[in-house]
Structure 1
Amino acid sequence: MRTSYQYRLKPTKKQAEIIDNTLDMLRCQYNYQLGQRLEWYEMNRCPIDRCSLIVCHIPELKDKPNRFSQQATLTQLKKDRPWYKSIHSQVLQEVPKKVEIAFDRWLKGDSNGSRCGKPRFKGKGQYKTFTYPQFKKEHLNNDKITLSKIGVVKVIIHRQVPDGFDIKTVSITKKAGGYYVTLSLEDKTVPTIKPDFDVNNIVGIDVGLIDFIVTSDDDRIAAPKFLRKAERKLKSAQRRVSRRKKGSNRRKKAIKKLGIQHKKVADTRKDFHFKTANNLLKKYDVVAVEKLNIKGLAKTRLAKSVNDAGWGQFLSILTVKAENAGLKVIAVNPNGTSLECSSCSTKVKKPLSQRIHNCPNCKVSLCRDLNASLNIKNRGTHDLKAQKMSSMRSL
């Protein structure tokens, strides 16, 4: 089992300055190594390496930079720029790894095959996290954590690390509200499936903009609309930034206040998602959800409301929490869940403004979202049985 705990750091003024300098130096190194890869791509993107004309000259192809070749240059970097010696060697070695992940997601895509946009150079203040890939548990003692090249930093431990968990990595992050440390924890003894796991204890949920979720048991949670409620404060903070002179200290303070307002909205939304996921998993062993194209929905005229709801973050949290609890989240095909009748499977076409499902075949009448959640539950049950049959055949 793998999980993460995040705590707030209370560094001294000198330690905060060291963290800021470290982040800025890592940003410069990230941009330099990303530039190497983009230069290689521009020079070698054409597969043709020779020409039939004698007079035509094509330069030799350069070797592709990779994580290990770029890590090998860090020794010379410290000789040419001695100030990089103030950064822990393993922290510096994580930069080529980040560059490789960003570059490969652009060209090859992730494990699901979805590709990201072209990686960009990071401006000042945009590189916000660095990682220690190895960490000894004894370096976290009560309310103090020992970070190499930074020192002993005060940390607010609002919950203890569970017994049996090993600290795999430690990440330091700078946010609008201060500095945070994230511990990646692992315990291999925790079972992946709950002992009393009940396949029949399943629920289907339909996410929406009016009701955040509607379950197949007709439980509803209204959409909280955190961004909409905070728009007046955000607008005021943004106007204050616009009025300040660029490069002035007053503008920097205004930007920081704006960032704190945005962080408050994001934190409140995330807390709501965690609590909603926790309540679902306390009640059910299997949760069936739609496999939505949220990126596509975020490009429609409902983009602001979709981003405010944060369906992607909620489904991600729900999936991770279910795996950690030994439960299951199953994603089903979303096509036609709102049109298909949950009682007789007849497709009933209706506009988005029509919120009641009236079936002309079986005469059933119920809420459109409830009908969709029942269809999601039925599809989830079917997919679960199919997975069980295929696993039995493989045995």
Structure 2
Amino acid sequence: MTGTDTDRERLRDTFNQDAELYDRARPGYPPRMFDDLAELAGAGPGCRVLEIGCGTGKATVLLAERDCRVVGVELGAEMAAVARRKLPDATIDVAAFEDWPLPPDPFDLVLAATSFHWIDPAVRIAKSADALRPGGTLATVSTHHVAGGTEDFFAEAQDCYRDSFAVHRPSGRWRSESGGGDAERRSLLSGGVGHCLPRGARRAPGSAEPDDSEKLREFTGSDDRVGFPLRVSCVCLGSGVMQLRYSFRLEPTPAQQQLLARTFGCARVVFNDALALRRAAFTAKEPWIGAGDLSKTVITQGKKRPERSWLGEVSAVVLQQSLRDLETAYRAFFDSRSGKRNGPKAGPPSFKSRKSKRQAVRFTANARWKITGKGLLSLPKIGEIPVRWSRPLPTVPATVTIIKDAAGRYFASFVIDTDPQADAERWPADADEVAGREVGLDMGLTHFAVLDTGEKITSPKFLRRAEKKLKKLQRDHSRKAKGSKNKEKSRRALARQHAKVADARHEFHHQLSTRLVREHQAVHAETLNVKGMARGRLAKSIHDAGWAAFLNMLEYKAERYGRTFQRTGRTFPSSQRCSNPVCHRIDGPKPLKVRTWTCPGCGTVHDRDINAARNTRQEGARIHALKVAEGHHGDPKRLRSDGKTKDPRSRHDAKKQEAKESGPETRAA
């Protein structure tokens, strides 16, 4: 540790020696600065804010007045106590920001008010970015001589602090004879420059803050009490950014495989120890154990115990991320119980088994992992691992997750933030070859997808084609002695075959979805109740098709490249309605064996699947046009078939709605 680092570690806890006195002598921040911050970064009602080094709550109070949900991290326990007294509803954790485990829910704004310089330069930028949601803002406030200040003025400002903390008490804490009067407070410079750093555009750790040439917006104001101009500058992230995962195969050596196994085991033990503590506290009806206390007990103190001393042999970041996974599991459970989380009910977290066939650990930027010039993945306390690079990474990754699957394969999964400008240049949304082109899809089993153009894409049926080989491998596996090496060999062979099936299906989905999004301006698909359909006799074939995964790929690729993806309502009768624009007669449900039918209204002969795809395209285009024209959010369940009424489930519903709209006068007549 250098002399500068030693001084920082010694001085950063200085003001905690007398928090009450510091709170009285410390000048506050001008409210105008937070008005500008609210305008630039959206620090308004409901905004989730993480304040680094909140101190006694000088900035926290101003954030709380704007109805922000503030979580503060403060190293000094006494200063945190003062902040809690001022703001009983805010969450104030006593911890060093470098060691504080990030919660599962990301923040909209990370604020460091005259505290960022106390944080380790190698950690502060990267960890702040990890705490932010995509498009979030990092704002740092620091004092500058923005109105002609000189070195003499700076010395006079320091004299004000020395005057306030002149007389020492025997305990070593300071008290003030003057109490920090208004004249002294006005002498202190209280200016601020906020640098907002978008996620995915991080500077290198320890690099300088941006100069004026990097600032996109600047607001200048003044505070009557302070008397100095105030400057707040923000660099805001554009729209269209999303996070993607890129997975690559790893080829670790036998020694590296042992180190990875040790890392997997340590992460599992930390997760289980933390879960055991919380379960014990719940059983004993004790208070909830916070993330900071959990980290201190399980990791920091656990390394000092002989039975857990080997936790120090792996990267500390992996252990912290394991605790974060536990927080995510608890949050999903609580949100599911309270109704905030949609979908199936999530149960409470359960202990991880050492016999689990899929294991994973996550390294964030704090771990200082890197990709070497030779294309090797360098991981802390593991070494440089060869990677099978199948394609280049589009941007610098934020995190990497090391995964070992059931087949014994190792993968590196990188999280990257997309570049909207590069995506727009790759597939221009206004290109002549895609302008105005729309396509409707009808999903099926014999044909995986039928396009409204008449093209029918045959279903590959990957699982059905591999059933014979899977049956043989399953039979061989069942005949091996339990617990033997041959049992494990046969299990891996079976897992590898299942992995081949899944990989082939995944590749097929990617190729088809990429082609459809690249060649069309808009893609329309039906909303399928896959879970309900999979309860019947066609369950294996439905799961083999993988409709839900394919439609999700279509959705995120369309959003990434500026295309339109619209789903129709689940009850929309695409197979019952005539797709002729001048007819649109609903002829009622038909059994699956009916592949062609003639419309009684207009006499058009329809292919069942092509007709459904055309209806899907027409309905999707109508819903999207309504969404754009009337500002709807695009939920097909809330949009209407004729612009006035909801999609009729049957003729009876349509007639009932028509009679309701006709009014009592018409009915009486």
TM above 0.5, yes or no, is yes
Aligned to 2:378: 146
Post-superposition shift, 1:282?
2.2
Give the Cα separation in 1 of the matches to 2:266 and 2:393: 31
2:591 counterpart of 1:366 = no
RMSD after superposition:
2.7
Which moves more between the two structures, 123-132 or 26-35? 26-35
User: Measured at CA, do residues 390 and 82 of structure 1 come closer, stay the same or move farther in structure 2, by a change above 3 Å?
Assistant: farther
Alpha-carbon contact 2:450-2:456 (below 8 Å) kept: yes
Give the Cα separation in 2 of the matches to 1:366 and 1:297: 25
Give the Cα separation in 2 of the matches to 1:299 and 1:103: 30
Superposed, 1:379-390 pairs within 5 Å as: 379-390=619-630
Give the Cα separation in 1 of the matches to 2:369 and 2:560: 22
User: Measured at CA, do residues 189 and 265 of structure 1 come closer, stay the same or move farther in structure 2, by a change above 3 Å?
Assistant: closer
Give the Cα separation in 1 of the matches to 2:584 and 2:289: 55
Cα deviation 1:283-331 (Å, max 9, x = unaligned) = 1121111222222222222211111001111112222222232223222
Q: Which of 53, 76, 89 is residue 316 of structure 2 equivalent to?
A: 89
Aligned to 2:361: 130
Which moves more between the two structures, 138-147 or 86-95? 138-147
Letter in 1 for 2:574: T
Give the Cα separation in 2 of the matches to 1:38 and 1:219: 57
Alpha-carbon contact 2:452-2:617 (below 8 Å) kept: yes
Q: Which of 379, 403, 419 is residue 173 of structure 1 equivalent to?
A: 403
Q: Which of 542, 556, 575 is residue 338 of structure 1 equivalent to?
A: 575
Alpha-carbon contact 2:442-2:451 (below 8 Å) kept: yes
Alpha-carbon contact 1:23-1:127 (below 8 Å) kept: no
Superposed, 1:201-212 pairs within 5 Å as: 201-212=437-448
Aligned to 2:468: 232
Post-superposition shift, 1:136?
5.6
Give the Cα separation in 2 of the matches to 1:314 and 1:228: 18
Letter in 1 for 2:598: N
Give the Cα separation in 2 of the matches to 1:283 and 1:189: 19
Superposed, 1:39-50 pairs within 5 Å as: none
Aligned to 1:9: 250
Aligned to 1:52: none
Which moves more between the two structures, 168-177 or 20-29? 20-29
Cα deviation 1:226-271 (Å, max 9, x = unaligned) = 0001011111111111111111111011101011000000001111
Alpha-carbon contact 1:91-1:132 (below 8 Å) kept: yes
Post-superposition shift, 1:38?
5.8
Post-superposition shift, 1:12?
1.0
Q: Which of 243, 255, 264 is residue 500 of structure 2 equivalent to?
A: 264
Post-superposition shift, 1:78?
2.2
1:196 is paired with a residue of what secondary structure?
coil
Aligned to 2:136: none
User: Measured at CA, do residues 305 and 111 of structure 1 come closer, stay the same or move farther in structure 2, by a change above 3 Å?
Assistant: farther
Give the Cα separation in 1 of the matches to 2:373 and 2:528: 44
Letter in 2 for 1:114: G
Give the Cα separation in 2 of the matches to 1:136 and 1:340: 59
Give the Cα separation in 2 of the matches to 1:79 and 1:15: 26
Give the Cα separation in 2 of the matches to 1:19 and 1:177: 12
Post-superposition shift, 1:213?
0.3
Letter in 1 for 2:579: S
Letter in 1 for 2:430: D
1:360 is paired with a residue of what secondary structure?
coil
Structure 1 spans left out of the alignment, 5+ residues: 44-58
The 4+ residue runs of structure 1 with deviation greater than 6 A are none
Which moves more between the two structures, 297-306 or 95-104? 95-104
2:263 is paired with a residue of what secondary structure?
helix
Post-superposition shift, 1:107?
4.1
Aligned to 2:430: 196
Alpha-carbon contact 1:171-1:183 (below 8 Å) kept: yes
Give the Cα separation in 1 of the matches to 2:272 and 2:543: 29
Letter in 1 for 2:301: Q
Alpha-carbon contact 1:105-1:115 (below 8 Å) kept: no
Post-superposition shift, 1:195?
4.8
Alpha-carbon contact 2:599-2:606 (below 8 Å) kept: no
Alpha-carbon contact 1:337-1:372 (below 8 Å) kept: yes
User: Measured at CA, do residues 215 and 189 of structure 1 come closer, stay the same or move farther in structure 2, by a change above 3 Å?
Assistant: closer
User: Measured at CA, do residues 312 and 35 of structure 1 come closer, stay the same or move farther in structure 2, by a change above 3 Å?
Assistant: farther
1:300 is paired with a residue of what secondary structure?
coil
Post-superposition shift, 1:188?
4.4
2:257 is paired with a residue of what secondary structure?
helix
What TM-score do the two structures reach when normalised by structure 1? 0.86
User: Measured at CA, do residues 268 and 187 of structure 1 come closer, stay the same or move farther in structure 2, by a change above 3 Å?
Assistant: closer
Letter in 2 for 1:64: W
Aligned to 1:77: 302
Give the Cα separation in 2 of the matches to 1:355 and 1:219: 16
Alpha-carbon contact 1:291-1:333 (below 8 Å) kept: yes
Post-superposition shift, 1:111?
7.7
2:454 is paired with a residue of what secondary structure?
coil
Alpha-carbon contact 1:108-1:115 (below 8 Å) kept: no
Give the Cα separation in 2 of the matches to 1:204 and 1:70: 52
Letter in 2 for 1:92: L
Q: Which of 115, 119, 126 is residue 344 of structure 2 equivalent to?
A: 115
Aligned to 2:263: 22
Post-superposition shift, 1:190?
2.6
Alpha-carbon contact 2:429-2:563 (below 8 Å) kept: no
What TM-score do the two structures reach when normalised by structure 2? 0.52
User: Measured at CA, do residues 272 and 233 of structure 1 come closer, stay the same or move farther in structure 2, by a change above 3 Å?
Assistant: same
Alpha-carbon contact 1:357-1:367 (below 8 Å) kept: yes
Aligned to 1:46: none
User: Measured at CA, do residues 306 and 170 of structure 1 come closer, stay the same or move farther in structure 2, by a change above 3 Å?
Assistant: same
1:379 is paired with a residue of what secondary structure?
helix
Give the Cα separation in 1 of the matches to 2:343 and 2:276: 23
Cα deviation 1:163-187 (Å, max 9, x = unaligned) = xx12111111112152111111224
Cα deviation 1:147-173 (Å, max 9, x = unaligned) = 0121111112222223xx121111111
Letter in 2 for 1:376: T
User: Measured at CA, do residues 31 and 220 of structure 1 come closer, stay the same or move farther in structure 2, by a change above 3 Å?
Assistant: farther
Cα deviation 1:6-61 (Å, max 9, x = unaligned) = 211111111001112221332233344445556677x5xxxxxxxxxxxxxxx7x4
Q: Which of 336, 340, 352 is residue 592 of structure 2 equivalent to?
A: 352
Q: Which of 484, 487, 490 is residue 248 of structure 1 equivalent to?
A: 484
Alpha-carbon contact 1:10-1:153 (below 8 Å) kept: yes
Which moves more between the two structures, 215-224 or 30-39? 30-39
* Identity score, percent: 32
Give the Cα separation in 1 of the matches to 2:538 and 2:280: 38
Cα deviation 1:187-234 (Å, max 9, x = unaligned) = 445377655177742211111111100111111101110000101111
Alpha-carbon contact 2:358-2:403 (below 8 Å) kept: no
- Greater relative contact order (Cα < 8 A, sep 6+): 1
Aligned to 1:184: 415
1:85 is paired with a residue of what secondary structure?
helix
Letter in 1 for 2:389: I
Alpha-carbon contact 2:278-2:288 (below 8 Å) kept: yes
Give the Cα separation in 2 of the matches to 1:40 and 1:358: 69
